[in-house]
Structure 1
Amino acid sequence: MMQPIPWGDLQDFLAIARAGQIARAAAQVGVDATTIGRRLRRLEARLGATLFEQTREGQVLTEAGERLLAQVEAMQRASERIGETPEGDRDTLSGLLRISVSEGFGTWLVAEHLYDFAARHPALTIDLVASSGFLSPSKREADLAVLLDRPSAGPVVASKLADYTLRLYASRGYLDRHGTPTRETIAADHRLVGYIPDLLYSPELRYLREIDAGLSPVLRSSSINAQARLIASGAGVGVLPHFIAGGDPDLVRVMPAVEIARAFWLVTHRDTRQLRRVRAFRAWLVELVTRHRAQLIGP
């Protein structure tokens, strides 16, 4: 009779399946790659099956791995529901809530107000992953994600969270030194700030191309916060969301006809979207963006 498989080994398997790489999974779990690799080999030996194929990109599930993944995800969902408090106890949420958001939205809006949600639910541990790139709800890397475009596939539920507006800005100091850009002068006479083209994590970030197909940034960063600092310091002209630039009195909107419209999409895994902590945060976030619509859209 086969010995029971430790739940920790199954959780490590789940981490590898979601991350797609042993090294990345090890970092998420908090162990070194050698340890998680050894646990994987132990699990495969117990099951008598190969769970992953090694590719140049990382680990890809075999048929046996796909079957095990379905079982382990069901076990994971059951374990999460055990930690859920009864519906009648509205004030108590516990466990871990991981939220993946774009760097700008996460820094300038969510982080600014997250204390309110945290204060309502002091027993809840909250991970705010605000970075250039996203964790995937479809792979269960995050409970909720705020994405720049609607996902086209995967076991997820997506809805539009909010529209937002981006405009072209420069600092007052920059304009004093270099003059105000126009459509005729911006390409030849002004230094442009923007994203690094080959590090774009969404096509929705190709802002300058919408102004003029020939525009190309010469001061480039994968971080919208770094771009905002560059523009505020007088280094150049660039596109920023109104929720970042609109409240800075030293930033001036230039070329007023330029207005770029985008939307945030709220995405959850279809199997966990009804967890109380997920529902609570989703409702709080919708209320937050509704309250701050003027900050997102601008005048």
Structure 2
Amino acid sequence: MNWDDLKLFLAVARAGRLASAAKAIGQDATTVSRRIRRLEQALQARLFEHTPSGHVLTDQGSALFEAAERMEAAAMGIQRDAAPASQLAGAIRISASEGFGSRIIAPHVGDFTRAHPQVQIDLIASSGVLNPSRREADIAVMLARPKAGPLIARKLTDYALGLYAAPAYLASAPRLAGPGDLASHVLVGYVPDQIYAPELRYLSEIGSRLEATIRSSSINAQAEIIAAGTGCGVLPCFIGDAVPGLVRALPEIGIERSFWLVVHRDLRGIARIDRFLAWLTQRIEQLRPLMMGRG
């Protein structure tokens, strides 16, 4: 198998169209098509379905895509390690959801800046994520893989969520033996018209008629409301397990989501960007038990 063919495969998979991929990498579409066919022959697998909307990965193509991205990351790692320290200067703007930015990046980013003091970090941690396609951010940690744009995206980590409450609330509230009892409880959650991603609609997965009666656009504010004994609500485990006094109210309720690491493809190969991507990936590996509620 030719690594150059794999790079062409990645370009087509990310662009979704043969012509767009060919233009992006400076080759003609006929050559790209021929080399994709050569790769399929070598693997004895069909990698793309040709649809009116473009090239869509098959199951075998999706499996190869994940493996090829790991190979690409390893190759980029070799380049990062060889980059002279003098190149590690300049600004990095990172956009992340409020919870991830404030609870995962913020407490640890000093480790990165101490190692690279000439790099300036702008951390935008808010309700909503800036768009790397429009160059609003250099790096984004998103709740879903973007469907379009000149972007490189890969799954950063899965994470777990659970129902949390303060013991004082549980002691004074109605019986809570199962999800069916939640209708009689004070629920804390998001303001419906401020939910910026469908992945944040947690309560509907527990019960179709459940609605929050105390609502905030801020996940950190929700955590504080729950910790004050006002009600119960769904929190990421990396928040709920870290807030003093909170407990899992119904351990059988388990929700799982994913964070995706997204960067504009033109920024790959820039030393400070690649070094931060590698640092964040390594940090998440160390924090995986916390992310999955096993910390």
| TM-score of the alignment, normalized to the shorter chain, above 0.5 | yes
Contact 2:166–2:247 (CA<8 Å) still a contact in 1?
Answer: yes
Residue of structure 2 aligned with 1:229, choices 224, 228, 252: 224
Q: Which amino acid aligns with 1:221?
A: S
- Number of the residue aligned with 1:157: 152
- Number of the residue aligned with 1:172: 167
Q: How far off its partner does 1:248 sit?
A: 3.1
Residue of structure 1 aligned with 2:125, choices 107, 130, 150: 130
Q: How far off its partner does 1:220 sit?
A: 0.4
User: For residues 141-168 of structure 1, what are the alpha-carbon distances to aligned partners after superposition, in whole Å with 9 as ceiling and x for unaligned?
Assistant: 1110000000001110100000100000
Residue of structure 2 aligned with 1:267, choices 259, 262, 266: 262
Task: Check if 1:289 corresponds to 2:289.
Answer: no
Identify if the C-alpha distance between structure 1 residues 180 and 97 changes in structure 2 by more than 3 Å, giving closer, same or farther: farther
What is the correspondence of 1:200-279 to structure 2 with a 5 Å cutoff? 200-279=195-274
Task: Check if 1:190 corresponds to 2:185.
Answer: yes
d(CA) in 1 for partners of 2:81 and 2:206?
53
- Secondary structure at the counterpart of residue 260 of structure 2: strand
- Number of the residue aligned with 1:108: 103
d(CA) in 1 for partners of 2:81 and 2:242?
42
Q: How far off its partner does 1:177 sit?
A: 1.2
- Number of the residue aligned with 2:60: none
d(CA) in 1 for partners of 2:287 and 2:242?
13
d(CA) in 2 for partners of 1:86 and 1:237?
46
Q: Which amino acid aligns with 1:273?
A: R
Identify if the C-alpha distance between structure 1 residues 251 and 88 changes in structure 2 by more than 3 Å, giving closer, same or farther: closer
Contact 2:98–2:219 (CA<8 Å) still a contact in 1?
Answer: yes
d(CA) in 2 for partners of 1:130 and 1:294?
22
Greater mean alpha carbon deviation, residues 224-233 or residues 171-180 = 171-180
- Secondary structure at the counterpart of residue 266 of structure 2: coil
Task: Check if 1:97 corresponds to 2:92.
Answer: yes
Q: How far off its partner does 1:183 sit?
A: 2.1
d(CA) in 2 for partners of 1:193 and 1:86?
46
d(CA) in 2 for partners of 1:139 and 1:120?
29
Contact 2:165–2:246 (CA<8 Å) still a contact in 1?
Answer: yes
- Secondary structure at the counterpart of residue 275 of structure 2: helix
Q: Which amino acid aligns with 2:218?
A: S
Contact 1:228–1:240 (CA<8 Å) still a contact in 2?
Answer: yes
- The 4+ residue runs of structure 1 with deviation greater than 3 A are 85-88
d(CA) in 2 for partners of 1:231 and 1:86?
44
What is the correspondence of 1:132-147 to structure 2 with a 5 Å cutoff? 132-147=127-142
Contact 1:91–1:120 (CA<8 Å) still a contact in 2?
Answer: no
Structure 2 residues not aligned, in runs of 5+ = 1-79
Identify if the C-alpha distance between structure 1 residues 107 and 172 changes in structure 2 by more than 3 Å, giving closer, same or farther: same
- Number of the residue aligned with 1:39: none
Identify if the C-alpha distance between structure 1 residues 161 and 86 changes in structure 2 by more than 3 Å, giving closer, same or farther: closer
Greater mean alpha carbon deviation, residues 86-95 or residues 253-262 = 86-95
Contact 2:83–2:271 (CA<8 Å) still a contact in 1?
Answer: no
d(CA) in 2 for partners of 1:236 and 1:185?
13
Q: How many residues align?
A: 214
Contact 1:193–1:237 (CA<8 Å) still a contact in 2?
Answer: yes
- Secondary structure at the counterpart of residue 274 of structure 2: helix
Output the TM-score relative to the length of structure 2: 0.70
User: For residues 54-80 of structure 1, what are the alpha-carbon distances to aligned partners after superposition, in whole Å with 9 as ceiling and x for unaligned?
Assistant: xxxxxxxxxxxxxxxxxxxxxxxxxxx
Identify if the C-alpha distance between structure 1 residues 120 and 91 changes in structure 2 by more than 3 Å, giving closer, same or farther: farther
Identify if the C-alpha distance between structure 1 residues 243 and 180 changes in structure 2 by more than 3 Å, giving closer, same or farther: farther
d(CA) in 1 for partners of 2:268 and 2:236?
29
